[in-house]
Amino acid sequence: MKKQAEQKVFIKEKQTFPLTIKRLGINGEGVGYFKRQVVFVPGALPDEEVVVEATKIHPKFAEGRIKKIRKASPFRTKPPCPVYEQCGGCQLQHLEYVKQLELKRDIVIQSLERHTKFKVGQMDIRSTIGMDNPWHYRNKSQFQLGERDGKIIAGLYSLNSHKLIDVPECIVQQPETNKVTNVIKQIVKDLGIPIYNEKTKKGVLRTIVTRVGIKTGQVQVVLVTAVDELKRKDLLVAEIKKRLPEVASVMQNVNPKKTSIIFGDKTVHLSGKEIIEEHLEEFSYELSARAFFQLNPVQTVKLYNEVKNAAALTGKENVIDAYCGVGTIGLWVADGAKELRGMDIIPESIEDAKKNAKKHGVENALYVSGKAEQVVPKWQKQGFKPDVIIVDPPRTGCDQALLDTMLKSKPKKIVYVSCNPSTLAKDLQILSKQYNIKYIQPVDMFPQTAHVEAVTLLELK
Ligand SMILES: C[S@@+](CC[C@H](N)C(=O)[O-])C[C@H]1O[C@@H](n2cnc3c(N)ncnc32)[C@H](O)[C@@H]1O
C-alpha cells in the first residue's frame, strides 16, 4: 500500500472515473484505488462501487466526490439529520451503527499498521463498545455565531470550508443544549447584541457554549466574546433568567485571538453559580466553564470502568492520573490507590479536582496545575515512584518528555486513554521499547462521527 501511495498522482482535477471502495479512512471517508492511486471519497462506504469526480490532487493521493453510486453498501442508511451533507460535525450517519463500531476498530488497526512496526494481526484489539441509543448523547455544544440574510445563525463550520452551517436541532446533542442555544440566539437578536464578524473583526459575540449536567439538569452557558465589553449584558442575563430557569450558571469568556480554539484566557462570572454539577454513578463533579469533561456521559461510565479494570489496583499502588481534567478518572479508581497524583494544564480544572476529591473524602490525592511533561519528571526527581500511570492526553498525544520519563521511571503498568488512534499508535511504538501492549479496547464516545476512543493496557516487560 505504501508503494502505491508514493507513486506520483496522475489523476487530473475534475477527472471522472469508477472506483471500488476498499475501506474507511481515519476521517471516515471511503478509500479506493484508481490505477493503483489512492483516492479519498467522503460519504463512500466499503464495498461500494461509485463514480467519482476528482476534486483535489495532492502529491501522493487524490480527493474526490461521489457523482453516482453504482452499487450501494447494504449497510448504507439514510442520514436522519437534514444538514448532514453540509455540516462538518458527523461523518458516519450514512452507515448503520453496528458497522460504525466495526469500522472504528478497523481505524485503530489502520493507525497501528501505518505508524508502528507491530504485528498488528497478532494483537488483542477488542470489539468497540457501543451505545444502545447512539443519538442525543453530547452534553455540550459550542456553536459559532454568524449572520446570514439578516438572521442570526449558530452552528458548525462545513467540512473543509469556512461556511457556517445553521444547526438549530442537532440530533447528536442533548435536546436541552439545542433549546438553550436557540433561545439565547433569539434573546441576542431581540437585544441587538452585535455578532462578531471574522472578516471585518467587528462585533462582539462569537460563540455560545452550553453544557448540561444530565443527572442534575443544571445548565451552564458561556458567552464567548471577542472584546471585554459585552453590550447590554444586564438585560441579556435578566432575559436568560426569565426564559431559561434551568440555566444555573452564566459566564463570559473573552477570546480576542484569530483562532479556531473556542476559549480565551479570561473568564468572567455573569450570573448564578460559577460551576455546574454533574453525577456519574456514585460520583459528583463540579465543572468550571473551561474545564474539560467527557462529552458523552453514558459512554464515560463504560470508558472509566475499562480504565479501572485495566489498572486493577489493589490498594498498594502509587498512581498518577496525567491530564486529569477535573479528576474524574482519579476519583473512579481512588479507592484502590495508596496515593493518587494528578495534573492538568487548566488551573480551574485543578481547583475543581481538589474540591471533587475533598467532597468524596479522598484524602490520598495531590493535584497540581501544570504540564504533564514538566510535572511528572519533577515528581520523579523528587523520588515519587508511580506503580501505575494513567494518561488521557488531548489529540496531540503525549509529549516526548513525558514518554521519556515513563520509560525511565518504569511503572508496572501504563493505562493509555486516547482520543486519537494516530498519536496513540506513535506513542505505543515508543513505549513498546519497555512495555508489552496487552490489549486495546476501543470505546465509542462519539457515535455518527469517525472519532474513536481507546483504552490500552501496557505492562512492563
Ligand atoms: C482528553 S482530556 C482528559 C481529561 C480527563 N482525564 C477526563 O476524562 O475528563 C485531556 C486533558 O488534558 C489537559 N491538557 C492538555 N495538555 C496538557 C498538558 N500538556 N499537560 C497536562 N494537561 C494537559 C486538558 O486541559 C484536558 O483536561
424-445 residue pLDDT tens: 999 999 999 999 999 999 999 9
Alpha carbon distance 344, 25 (integer Å):
32
Residue numbers belonging to the annotated binding site for S-adenosyl-L-methionine: 294, 323, 344, 392
Domains 2-71 and 140-280 belong to one CATH topology: yes
HEC per residue, 392-436: CCCCCCCCHHHHHHHHHHCCCEEEEEECCHHHHHHHHHHHCCCEE
293 alpha carbon – ligand 1 mean position (Å): 9
The pLDDT, as a whole number, for residue 59 is 87
Torsion angles phi and psi, residue 128, rounded to 5: -65, 135
pLDDT at 143 over 70: yes
Say if residues 54 and 62 touch (Cβ distance below 8 Å): yes
90 is catalytic: no
**What type of residue sits at position 115?**
H
Q: Which long-range contacts (CB under 8 A, 24 or more apart) does 46-51 make?
A: 46/21, 46/22, 46/73, 46/103, 47/20, 47/21, 47/71, 47/73, 48/20, 48/21, 48/72, 48/73, 48/76, 49/18, 49/19, 49/20, 49/21, 50/18, 50/19, 50/21, 51/16, 51/17, 51/18, 51/19
Nearest partner of 414 among 455, 372, 365, judged by Cα: 455
Mean of the per-residue pLDDT values for the chain? 95
Query: Which of 62, 88, 94, 90 is closest to 161 using CA atoms?
Result: 88
DSSP 98-140: HHHHHHHHHHHHHHHHHH--S-GGGS-BPPPB--SS-SS-BSE
Q: Residue 349: CB within 6 Å of ligand 1?
A: yes
Region 296-460: CATH code: 3.40.50.150
Q: What is the pLDDT of residues 242-270, one digit of tens each?
A: 999 999 999 999 999 988 899 999 999 99
392 lines ligand 1 (CB under 6 A): yes
SS3 50: strand
pLDDT digits (tens, 9 = 90+) for 374-422: 999 999 999 999 999 999 999 999 999 999 999 999 999 999 999 999 9
Q: Whose CA is nearest to atom 6 of ligand 1?
A: 324
Q: Give the strand pairing for 337-344 and 317-322.
A: parallel
Distance separating the N- and C-terminal Cα atoms of the chain:
32
> Closest residue (by CA) to atom 20 of ligand 1?
371
CATH architecture of the domain 140-280 equals: Beta Barrel (2.40)
SS (H, E, C) 137-197: CECEEEEEEEEECCEEEEEEEECCCCCEEECCCCCCECHHHHHHHHHHHHHHHHHCCCECE
Q: Extract the C-alpha cell encoding 274.
A: 460559577
Of 344, 399, 415, 423, the one to substitute when testing ligand 1's pocket (max ligand atoms within 8 A of C-beta) is 344
pLDDT at position 8: 65
| Cβ–Cβ under 8 Å, residues 364 and 331 | no
Q: Which CATH architecture has domain 2-71?
A: Beta Barrel (2.40)
ipTM of predicted assembly, 2 dp: 0.99
All structural domains of the chain with their residue ranges: 2-71, 140-280, 296-460
